[in-house]
Amino acid sequence: MPLWGCMGADRSEVTARPSPRAVSAGSTVARMIDRDSIALDGRYALVTGGARGIGRATAEALARLGASVAICDRLAPEMADAASAIEAIGAEVLTAELDVRDEEAVAAFVAEIGDRWGRLDIVVNNAGGGFFAPVLDVSTKGRAALIAENFTQVADVTTRCVPLMVEGGSVVNITSIEGHRAGPGFGIYSAMKAGVENLTRTLALELSQRRIRVNAVAPDMIPTPGDADLAEAAEAMSGADDWAMMPWPDEGHPDDVAGAVVWLCSPLSRFVTGTTVHVDGGTSAAAGWKRRHSDGVWVL
């Protein structure tokens, strides 16, 4: 620990410490935070699963801050609507109708991005999904589909995009709170999200010399069109009993997740890599504690 961080430090040691503003990695140039610190002008981004929900909110947020955005999804009509919204912001957009589990289709789209833009600065691995079923009820085919959709494609998309990140950049993997706790009814999905969280940390180390930061964002249940059926099947967010669904009193929104992603893609987070940002209204912090609606008391 530096001497100026110790309770028993001598006053001369405290006053002699270097100014944080005078210190920067590999440079003597002072740094400061201003409005431009969040700007993404001239950056090129790819968002998988960008047709709706968190993916669309993220793509639009990146565009509003100046980035050109490529999106891919299986939902062609909704993706066309998302592309129109991005163009209305004034940003350039590329689209591809594809399943991220289709390696050839992903390779072709990444090649198109390379031909068009010459590079990528931001990759947001948002695509994923699942279904409600106890682990023992999931068929062999179902397991393979869940693994491919929630883990394998993340590794594949990232691997194909890294060669285009010639000037460094940021990879953000959208995982889930289920990757940090048990997931009854979503066991394979939960395990794959945990795998992506671990992969995030490993890639952060392996790609650091390329100046590519790799982080994850782990939301709790965010109301989106794609999750409506899953929430009903699992009776999540039902509010049928006297227990609050999460500590924070307000419901989450896709823009809450997009905000965390934007921060991780911006210069503001230049020293952040290999970590997970929990966008869950305090659910992970609660760790089993529940709040009664009737009297506001927290109980285990």
Query: What tens digit of pLDDT does each residue of 118-170 get?
Result: 999 999 999 999 999 999 999 999 999 999 999 999 999 999 999 999 999 99
Give percent of the chain with pLDDT exceeding 90. Answer: 69
Q: Is residue 48 part of a domain?
A: yes
CA dist 113 and 117 (Å) reads 6
pLDDT digits (tens, 9 = 90+) for 195-222: 999 999 999 999 999 999 999 999 988 8
DSSP string, 64-109: HTT-EEEEEES-HHHHHHHHHHHHHHT--EEEEE--TT-HHHHHHH
Res. 228: pLDDT tops 60: no
CA proximity to 249, closest of 205, 215, 281: 281
Q: How many CB atoms lie within 10 A of CB 27?
A: 8
Q: Are strands 290-291 and 298-299 parallel, antiparallel or unpaired?
A: antiparallel
CATH number of the domain within which 54 lies: 3.40.50.720
What tokens does 211 get?
């100046």
Q: Is residue 115 part of a domain?
A: yes
What pLDDT is recorded for position 154? 98
Going by pLDDT thresholds of 50, 70 and 90, the confidence category of residue 15 is very low
Q: What's the average model confidence in pLDDT over 67-84?
A: 98
Going by pLDDT thresholds of 50, 70 and 90, the confidence category of residue 24 is very low
Going by pLDDT thresholds of 50, 70 and 90, the confidence category of residue 298 is low
Q: Give the range of the structural domain holding residue 277, as residue numbers without chain letter.
A: 39-231+252-287
Res. 25: pLDDT tops 60: no
Q: Is residue 5 part of a domain?
A: no
Going by pLDDT thresholds of 50, 70 and 90, the confidence category of residue 29 is low
CA dist 72 and 84 (Å) reads 14
What pLDDT is recorded for position 221? 80
CA dist 28 and 21 (Å) reads 10
What pLDDT is recorded for position 10? 42
Contact 50, 82 (CB under 8 A): yes
Going by pLDDT thresholds of 50, 70 and 90, the confidence category of residue 290 is confident
Q: Is residue 117 part of a domain?
A: yes
Give percent of the chain with pLDDT exceeding 70. Answer: 83
Res. 105: pLDDT tops 70: yes
Going by pLDDT thresholds of 50, 70 and 90, the confidence category of residue 22 is very low
Q: Is residue 21 part of a domain?
A: no
What pLDDT is recorded for position 70? 98
Q: Is residue 296 part of a domain?
A: no
Contact 172, 266 (CB under 8 A): no
What tokens does 73 get?
């999804």
Q: Is residue 246 part of a domain?
A: no
- Residues with a catalytic annotation lie at 189
Among the listed ranges 22-31, 250-259, 260-269, which one has the minimum average pLDDT value? Answer: 22-31
What pLDDT is recorded for position 230? 53
Q: Is residue 98 part of a domain?
A: yes
Res. 238: pLDDT tops 70: no
The number of domains in the chain is 1
Among the listed ranges 177-181, 246-250, 259-263, 296-300, which one has the minimum average pLDDT value? Answer: 296-300
Task: Report the chain's mean pLDDT, rounded to a whole number.
Answer: 87
DSSP string, 208-221: GGGTEEEEEEEE--
